[in-house]
Amino acid sequence: MELPGKIALVTGGAHRVGREIAIALAHAGCHLAIHYHNAEKAAKETASTVEALGVNAAIFRSDLRALNQIEGLFRLIDSEIGPLDFLINSAAIMKKVAFHKADEEDWHNTIDLNLKAPFFCIQKAAERMRINGAGVIVNISDIAGLRPWREYPIHSISKAGLEMLTKVAARTYAPEVRVNAVAPGPVLKPDEMPDTRWQELGDALPLQRPGNAHDVARAVIFLLESDFITGETLVVDGGNQLI
C-alpha cells in the first residue's frame, strides 16, 4: 500500500519505539494519530516533531486497559481526523517479576495492556478499515514471545499471545485488512539495565551490536508497504534467535 497521505494510529506513540515509528511514518508522508496514556508532554513533543516534517498530527489520551476508553479513542479519531488506514499497536509494559512472586495485579497490568488492548484495538480498527475497503495493522511483539524469558514470565506470555492474535486477526479480516507483527530483539535498553550489560548483550549477537528503535520503525514501514504479506512476524533481533 502507498503511504503518502494515509492516516496512522500509533498506540504508545509518545516515546521510545512508538515515537520512532511515528516519525518514520511521517517521513513516509503519513498523517498521525499519536496515542498516549500518561506521557502528555512527550506526546506533544512527538507531535511537534512530526508536524515539522509536513504532515498533520493529533494526540489522544486513553488508558487502553479499559475497553470503554478504547471505544472512546476510536470515536474521537473518527470525528477529529477521519478514517484510519493503518494501526500500529506499540503500547506495552515490560515489568520484571519472578514467576513465583507475581500476583494478580502484575498479571492484569501486563496482559490487559500487552494483549487485551491490541485485541480490541484491532477489532475497532479492522471494522472501520473493512468498510473503507483496505487497511494494514502491525503489532509490535517481542522475541520474548518466541523464546521464554524466565525473569519476565507474564511479558513473555503476553507477547506469545500477541503472536497468535496476529495470525487469527490476519485470517479473520482478510482480504481487506492485512495484519502482521514485528518482533524486536535488543533494540532499546530497559531503564533498569546497566549500560555495560546492554553492551554485553549486543556483543553476543551474530551482528555484534545492539539495534535501535529505528530498526523497528523500518520493519514497520516494510510491512505496511508489502501487499502480499499477512499473518507473519518479522524478527528484528540482530541474529539473536541463531544463538
The whole-angstrom separation of Cα 93 and Cα 45 is 21
What's the grid cell of residue 30? 503519513
Q: Residue 207: how many CA atoms within 13 Å on its side-chain side?
A: 14
Nearest 10 degrees: Cα torsion 102, 103, 108, 109: -60
The whole-angstrom separation of Cα 189 and Cα 80 is 35
Kindly give, in sequence order, each residue whose CB lies less than 8 Å from that of residue 82, ignoring residues fewer than 6 positions away.
7
Contact 198, 209 (CB under 8 A): no
DSSP states along 40-93: HHHHHHHHHHHHTTTS-EEEEE--TTSHHHHHHHHHHHHHHT---SEEEE----
Q: 73 to each of 10, 77, 118, 120, 223, how far by Cα in Å?
A: 12, 6, 13, 11, 24
CB atoms under 10 Å from CB of 212, counted, come to 15
Catalytic residue among 6, 116, 124, 159: 159
The whole-angstrom separation of Cα 220 and Cα 138 is 7
Residue 159 annotated in active site: yes
Catalytic residue among 41, 152, 167, 189: 152
What's the grid cell of residue 141? 511483539
Positions marked active-site: 152, 159
